[in-house]
A and B are shown apart, each in its own frame.
Chain A
Amino acid sequence: MRTAAVDWRLAAPLGIVYLALFAAPLLLLLGISLHSDQDLQQWGVDNWVKFWSDAFYRGVVWDTLRLGLAAVLATSLFAWPLAVFFCASSARTQKILLFIILLPLLTSVVIRTFAWIVILAREGLINQAVLALGLSATPLRLLQTETGLILALMQIEMPLMLLPLISVMRGLDPNLLDASRALGAGHWRSFFRVILPLSLPGWIAGATLVFASACTAFISQSVIGGARLVYLPSLIWQQAMVVYDWPFAAVCSVTLLFTVLAGVMMLNWLGRYARTD
């Protein structure tokens, strides 16, 4: 009884800070979105109706979520083999690998994004290689395409997927794999029936981070994706900073927040399902 009271009081300072700095601005944002004029004089749901009744904006929401999913799929495709390789390596190799995995986190996302322009551009690394090898007569179009953007996001978000995955897979009992082999399962079967299900909690943590981060990657989306790919973050920036329509920008922001949150919650739900199964 007494400990419960102490616990509550210990958590209060942080709770109050959260309430003041996190919940209050969110409520303010919600309040702004419920105005129908740019000077915030008139209450109304006009901007919500304008956003959701328009196929163009619904398309933007869908494209943003799809981009997050694509980034999760792309990172997963490469992260699992890398994590398996990591766990099978010697302690020394693991140290080197860990450094390489962490390297992207040590440079700013702006620099990483601009580096991808150098790689994907018409006269960039990939196109120079493609032209030199005679794989194509004209430069490929990679910049300003969704493929190029997903490729760049895959590298930019990779540490967020790899680190939780590796930390979970390192904790797996190596005997399980031996047992699987001894019982006659091949490499692939062992991977899909033993490693994959057991590392799922790590993947879910990684997927959550990658999904939320890719959906909101304003810099990468606008610099590598270009103006022809419109996602929610650039729409928010445009409406708030250029058009100065704060209620509409607030509608976009709240929409981004809740759709990404829904995705994250779905992944969490998947996690609970995976563990009880």
Chain B
Amino acid sequence: MASRRLFLAGMAGALAAPSIARASGSMTAAIYPGTWDEAYREIVAPLLRQRHNVGVSFDPLFAVDQVAKVRAARGVSPFDCFVLDPGPAAAARQAGLFEPIDRRLISNAAKLPDGMLTADAATVNVQVVGICYNPKKFPEPPKSWTDLFRSPYVERLGLTGFQTTFGTVSLIEMAKAFGGSVDNIEPIFAKLREALPKVAAVATPAALPGLFQQGQIDIMYTNTNNAATLKARGVDIAFIAPTEGAITFATTLHIVKGAENKANAHRYIDVALSAEAQSKLQLSPYNMIPVNKDVQLTPNLDIKSLDELSKMVTHDWSVINPRRAAWIDRFNREITK
């Protein structure tokens, strides 16, 4: 009998523990596993503790998992902050999962280029997508999206599909370069069919950097982060913006609908946007392109100033999302051996 009471007391203690950990001065933020998790634990968390005495615990989850977890919780938010790419962000917005962001609580708001802090989203880092190639193998680089499908480039190209944000927007731009559009993706599928027997690899996005490093492929379309990471490892790789224009998209922070720690979530976003955090996040091995105008850009990022971003190609993901499943399905069917 006594042991059972002890057991119940223990259970009650275990159940109570999380609420103690989430007392005032703390918050929980979802974060991408891997580089983002490391970077934010290393740079943003200590700054938040130092400036506001707020402890942040991270919940490492991919974008889709974050959205799924909040949806499944049905109103009881499992964490206070999202970090999302444009596709999942558009889906989460549609599902009404965001709390508004109060601009007055973000002291760095004025330091951001126009449009990077909206009613429910704070852009915390941008990605720039273009062509990466091995300059030792190709002194004359491919200059446009259409060049990728010409000899001698196509034979050394690593293809990837619509699974990632960068893959999806690259293929859309290629479709446009061959006369198509978001509504008419057909031209790129025609080109892919033609190129399939020739290309060096058709890979999952996560495998691309490894294949490039091992010389299986010498050309790929990817973001500058991947290029900088490989360059830091001594790989011969150069980034070039295609003549049609490099692509940019934002990674955004959002406050979860019904979040327990709204005030701290605002502080967390503000610290992540601060020049101090952003100037460290841009360095190797993180290589995140900053959005704070006070930050002096490092040369490893392949962009000279934040003004370049406004000239790059952007996409409306509320248009892409409903079409993407069909594209992925078609890519599966047409490229499978």
Contacts and interface: CB of A to CB of B under 8 A. Distances in A.
A166 interface: no
A270 interface: no
Contacts of A244: 64, 67-68, 91
11 contacts: A59-B336, A117-B210, A146-B337, A227-B203, A229-B336, A238-B163, A241-B62, A242-B324, A243-B325, A243-B329, A244-B64
Contact of A226 (B201, B215, B332): B201
Interface residues of A, number: 28
Interface in A52-78: 56, 59
A174 B336 CA distance: 50
Given A117-B207, A144-B202, A240-B64, 7 more contacts: A56-B336, A117-B216, A121-B214, A122-B215, A223-B207, A226-B204, A238-B332
A117 B207 CA distance: 10
A118 interface: yes
Contacts of B214: 117-118, 121-124
Give the residue among A226, A238, A244 with the most B Cβ atoms within 10 A: A226
Contacts of B163: 238, 242
B160 A123 contact: no
A255 interface: no
Contacts of B74: none
B161 A143 contact: no
A222 B204 contact: yes
A223 B204 contact: yes
Contacts of A234: 204
Contacts of A123: 214-216
Contacts of B332: 56, 230, 235, 238
Contacts of A2: none
Contacts of B211: 117, 121, 143
A226 B325 contact: no
Contacts of A146: 337
A94 to B, nearest CB: 36
A241 B204 contact: no
